[in-house]
Homo-oligomer: A and B are copies of this chain.
Amino acid sequence: DATDTCVAMSPKITGELLRQLRQAMRNCKYFSEPLQAYIVPSGDAHQSEYIAPCDCRREFICGFNGSAGTAIVTEQHAAMWTDGRYFLQASQQMDNNWTLMKMGLKETPSQEDWLISVLPENSKVGVDPWIIAADQWKNMSKALSGAGHSLVAVQDNLIDAVWMDRPERPSTQLRALGLDYTGMTWQDKITTLRAKMTERKITWFVATALDEIAWLFNLRGADIEYNPVFFAYAIVGMNTIRLFVDLKRLSDPALRDHLQLDSPSKPELSIQTFPYESVYTELQAICAAQGPKDKVWICDKASCALTQVIPKAHRSAIPYTPLCLAKAVKNATEIQGMKMAHIKDAVALCELFAWLEKEIPKGNVTEISAADKAEELRSQQKDFVGLSFPTISSVGPNGAIIHYRPLPETNRTLSLNEVYLIDSGAQYVDGTTDVTRTMHFGTPSAFEKECFTYVLKGHIAVSAAVFPNGTKGHLLDSFARAALWDSGLDYLHGTGHGVGCFLNVHEGPCGISYKTFADEPLEAGMIVSDEPGYYEDGSFGIRIENVVLVIPTKPKYNYRNRGSLTFEPLTLVPIQVKMMSTELLTQKERDWVNEYHRKCREVVGAELERQGRKDALEWLIRETQLIA
């Protein structure tokens, strides 16, 4: 079963670190009074999903390196909250100084309740205001003050104070993207943003999300693995643009030219550059000079530190910034780039699968070596930059662990007897990919085929769905599950997420999920994933994922002139027919599979031909035969 795939890792020894941290908590150099507790969230100052090594403070203090978790240290206790994906891993990575708080279990107290139960009266609870979001601060602060304690902002991070060999904040080379990749100059993006600001009577906009800043200025970096972003802030006024970034990065003449740093075309498009760290004092100065009616836009997920600089009366905290919304709707150039990236990605995957077919029988291919091969093949494609997330390469029972990532201790060999699931993607300069295929290289069982077919039915139901303009993605989620539900099956994750264009592989504000969240309506030009699955614990995992583009469509009627939308798959990798119980498919579904495979063969076949990759082309042609 799933547990036997995980082997013991040695926990991090944290006794001495905790002693030092507690000393810092008592040290009035950091805060005017001793702290009775200190909270260590897992994020960075930009609420990034992936973070740089210098920001892995929660991992540093407790040893647990999963993507989600919050550590809290008091004078007597040390506790770490994480969710069900990570219970086993966290329990193996943390030593006895730590209590694992299993979120989602009834008996597990919330962080607030736990703090209230262990703290002495009138305690001070410290947190770095840069790495706690404004809304989280508000909730925690309210709960603590309701119980007589107080949440206090400690400007110097206490983990950094005891972290002797903490890595530097990355400052990788910046890459300017021309109009042929972005389809819109940064100047036009600024002008569009200002039009939105005028419309909503906003005088300042503070950009804190790294992908929004990268998108706005048509720049990319490599500060965070998998995400082509760079550490920066931006503040845009009606006549000024302030960019906060390590100034050393702006010495390249081509870059200075791209940003028109030395000869701006118009004064209102002149970018003033400031050191990354000075965003706080600059924003303070801006707010101090504000008129009584001035309003500042900031995302409600931005850091508490920056948010609280803006006086409440002037603050307009929004769930999605205008940049987030504009970035989600790809323009014609971006769509063309995403299509090209997906064709190159398909070439690499066709080659991988053809190679696997030959190599697996020899018994030498493992989850890790298959993932490495996939990366090698992708890296041969033009404009390849890197992976877009860690490859999930999983065999048999490992496939049932939804967030699996092969490690030397868990690495299984691919065989003719087990299902193989690979969820992978890359960053190319022209676009970002994310694709999952589930294959069997021998003979799948009837149950594996049955489940695969239900998942395929769900995938098709979303991909072929026609829906009115203005429909939110969460209304499509049940389409992906209906066939599984009919047989008593389901999967416990969402169906899709937004995908950036040479940007983060997960982006807002849209998605397809049963979780009701404030997603924005789908619009033509948006790009999301369609990835239903089924996971049989201890046996196998199935997921079929394409990246799909929202496009307009014209059905027979047009009720109230609202117009209709549907999806066009950008991913063009064959879906294994061997895994299908075709007799469970309707004629419409069979037609969809045939048309999809026709397109794969036509488009990817031409590129394989051009690249002279014969084995892969042969594989593609065989895998895209018509089904009856």
Binding site for B on A (CB under 8 A): 465-468, 474-479, 482, 485-490, 514, 516, 554-560, 562, 564, 586
Chain B hits for A474, CB < 8 A: 516
B488 touching A556 by the CB < 8 A rule? yes
Rounded to whole Å, the gap between the CB of A589 and the closest CB of chain B is 12
Please name 18 further chain A to chain B contacts, defined as beta carbons within 8 Å, in addition to the given A488-B554, A489-B559, sorted by A numbering: A465-B485, A466-B485, A466-B486, A467-B478, A468-B490, A474-B516, A476-B478, A478-B478, A478-B479, A479-B482, A485-B555, A485-B564, A487-B556, A488-B557, A488-B558, A488-B559, A516-B516, A586-B586
Chain B hits for A479, CB < 8 A: 478, 482
Rounded to whole Å, the gap between the CB of A26 and the closest CB of chain B is 33
Give the distance in Å from the alpha carbon of A489 to the alpha carbon of B516 in the complex: 24
Give the distance in Å from the alpha carbon of A485 to the alpha carbon of B471 in the complex: 11
Chain B hits for A475, CB < 8 A: 477-478, 514
Number of copies: 2
A485 touching B467 by the CB < 8 A rule? yes
Give the distance in Å from the alpha carbon of A476 to the alpha carbon of B477 in the complex: 10
Give the distance in Å from the alpha carbon of A564 to the alpha carbon of B485 in the complex: 8
Chain B hits for A482, CB < 8 A: 465, 479
Rounded to whole Å, the gap between the CB of A533 and the closest CB of chain B is 12
Chain B hits for A554, CB < 8 A: 488
Give the distance in Å from the alpha carbon of A555 to the alpha carbon of B454 in the complex: 14
Chain B hits for A485, CB < 8 A: 465-468, 555, 564
Give the distance in Å from the alpha carbon of A192 to the alpha carbon of B576 in the complex: 54
Give the distance in Å from the alpha carbon of A128 to the alpha carbon of B506 in the complex: 49
B465 touching A557 by the CB < 8 A rule? no
A555 touching B514 by the CB < 8 A rule? no
From B476, B488, B557, A555 is in contact (CB under 8 Å) with: B488
Rounded to whole Å, the gap between the CB of A400 and the closest CB of chain B is 12
Q: Which residue of B lies closest to A517 (CB)?
A: B516
Give the distance in Å from the alpha carbon of A485 to the alpha carbon of B554 in the complex: 11
Listed A/B pairs (16) with beta-carbon separation below 8 Å = A465-B482, A466-B486, A468-B488, A468-B490, A475-B477, A476-B478, A478-B478, A487-B555, A487-B557, A488-B555, A488-B556, A488-B558, A489-B557, A489-B559, A490-B559, A490-B560
Chain B hits for A477, CB < 8 A: 475
Q: Which residue of B lies closest to A491 (CB)?
A: B559
Which of A467, A490, A586 counts the most chain B CB atoms within 10 A?
Answer: A490
Knowing A475-B477, A516-B516 are in contact, say whether A564-B466 is a contact too (CB < 8 A): no
Rounded to whole Å, the gap between the CB of A549 and the closest CB of chain B is 18
Chain B hits for A467, CB < 8 A: 478, 485
Chain B hits for A560, CB < 8 A: 490
4 pairs of A and B residues whose beta carbons are closest in the complex? A488-B555, A488-B557, A516-B516, A489-B559
A555 touching B486 by the CB < 8 A rule? yes
Chain B hits for A488, CB < 8 A: 466, 468, 554-559, 564
Rounded to whole Å, the gap between the CB of A545 and the closest CB of chain B is 20
Q: Which residue of B lies closest to A564 (CB)?
A: B488
Chain B hits for A559, CB < 8 A: 488-490
Give the distance in Å from the alpha carbon of A490 to the alpha carbon of B488 in the complex: 29
Rounded to whole Å, the gap between the CB of A522 and the closest CB of chain B is 13
Rounded to whole Å, the gap between the CB of A430 and the closest CB of chain B is 33
Chain B hits for A487, CB < 8 A: 555-557
Give the distance in Å from the alpha carbon of A485 to the alpha carbon of B462 in the complex: 13
Chain B hits for A466, CB < 8 A: 485-486, 488
Chain B hits for A558, CB < 8 A: 488
Rounded to whole Å, the gap between the CB of A319 and the closest CB of chain B is 14
Q: Which residue of B lies closest to A535 (CB)?
A: B559
Give the distance in Å from the alpha carbon of A556 to the alpha carbon of B454 in the complex: 13
Rounded to whole Å, the gap between the CB of A470 and the closest CB of chain B is 10
Give the distance in Å from the alpha carbon of A488 to the alpha carbon of B467 in the complex: 7
Chain B hits for A478, CB < 8 A: 467, 475-476, 478-479
